Amino acid sequence: MVATIISCKAGGGDYTNPALPISQRVSNLMSQMTLEEKVAQMCQYVGLDHMKTAEKDMSLEDMKKSHAQGFYPDLHSSDVEEMTKKGMISSFLHVVTAEEANYLQSLAMQSRLKIPLLIGIDAIHGNGLYCGSTIYPTPIGQASSFDPALVKQLSRETAIEMRASGMHWTFTPNVEVARDARWGRVGETFGEDPYLVGLMGAATVAGFQTDDFTGEDKVIACVKHLVGGSQPENGINGAPAELSERTLKEVFFPPFKDCVDAGAFTVMTAHNELNGIPCHGSKYLMTDLLRDQWSFDGFVVSDWMDIERMHDYHTTVETLKDAYRISVDAGMGMHMHGPEFYEAILECIKEGSIKEKQIDEAVSKILEAKFRLGLFENPYVDMEKKDIIVANSRHQKTALEAARKSIVLLKNENNLLPLDAAKYKKVFVTGHNADNQSILGDWALEQPEENVTTVLEGLKAANPETAYSFLDLGWNVRELKTEQIKEAVQRARTSDLAILVVGENSMRYHWTEKTCGENSDRYELTLPGRQQELVEAVAATGVPTIVILVNGRPLSTEWIAENMPCLIEAWEPGMAGGQAIAEILYGKVNPSGKLPITIPRSVGQIRCMYNHKSTNNWFPYATGNSKPLYEFGYGLSYTTYQYANLQLSEAETTTTGNVQATIEVTNTGEMDGEEIVQLYIRDEYSSATRPVKELKAFERVSLKSGESKRITFTVTPEMLSYYDAEMKYGVEKGTFKIMVGPSSKDEDLQTVVLTVK
Ligand code: BGC
How far is Cα 147 from Cα 200, in angstroms, rounded to an integer? 8
How far is Cα 435 from Cα 472, in angstroms, rounded to an integer? 8
630, β-bridge pairs: 599
* Predicted local confidence at residue 60, as pLDDT: 61
How far is Cα 641 from Cα 294, in angstroms, rounded to an integer? 41
If residue 110 lies in a helix (H) or strand (E), which one and from where to where? none
Query: Cα of 588 to ligand 1 centre, how many Å?
Result: 38
Residue nearest to atom 10 of ligand 1 (CA): 171
Find the DSSP H helices in 262-355: 283, 306-312, 320-330, 340-351
* Predicted local confidence at residue 67, as pLDDT: 46
CA dihedral of residues 723, 726, 727, 732 (deg, nearest 10): -20
Sheet with 708-715, edge to edge strand ranges: 641-648, 659-667, 708-715
pTM above threshold 0.85: yes
- Does the beta carbon of 508 lie inside 6 Å of ligand 1? no
Query: Cα of 268 to ligand 1 centre, how many Å?
Result: 9
How far is Cα 98 from Cα 515, in angstroms, rounded to an integer? 31
223, β-bridge pairs: 267
Q: Catalytic: which of 147, 303, 442, 521? A: 303
**What letters, b where the CB count within 10 A reaches 16 and e where it falls short, cover 267-304?**
bbbbbbbbeebbbbbbeebbbebbbeebebebbbbbbe
Is 683 a catalytic site residue?
no
- Does the beta carbon of 303 lie inside 6 Å of ligand 1? yes
* Predicted local confidence at residue 338, as pLDDT: 86
- Burial group, residue 183, by CB count within 10 angstroms (0-12, 13-18, 19+): buried
- Does the beta carbon of 14 lie inside 6 Å of ligand 1? no
- Does the beta carbon of 304 lie inside 6 Å of ligand 1? yes
Q: CA geometry: angle at 458 spanning 452 and 461, to 5°? A: 115
Domain ranges of the chain: 396-617, 641-756
How far is Cα 712 from Cα 743, in angstroms, rounded to an integer? 17
For the domain 641-756, what is the CATH superfamily, name and number?
Immunoglobulins (2.60.40.10)
How far is Cα 631 from Cα 633, in angstroms, rounded to an integer? 6
- Does the beta carbon of 122 lie inside 6 Å of ligand 1? yes
* Predicted local confidence at residue 188, as pLDDT: 98
Average pLDDT by stretches of 10, the chain with 757 residues: 40 87 97 98 93 73 54 84 97 95 98 98 97 98 98 98 98 98 98 98 98 96 98 97 98 98 98 98 98 98 95 96 98 94 97 96 98 98 95 98 98 97 97 98 97 98 96 97 98 98 96 94 98 98 98 98 98 98 98 98 96 93 95 98 98 97 98 98 97 98 98 98 98 97 98 97
- Look at the domain 396-617 and name its fold: Rossmann fold (3.40.50)
For residue 698, the SS3 value is strand
Residue nearest to atom 11 of ligand 1 (CA): 304
For residue 739, the SS3 value is strand
Residue nearest to atom 6 of ligand 1 (CA): 304
User: Which amino acid is present at 609?
Assistant: M
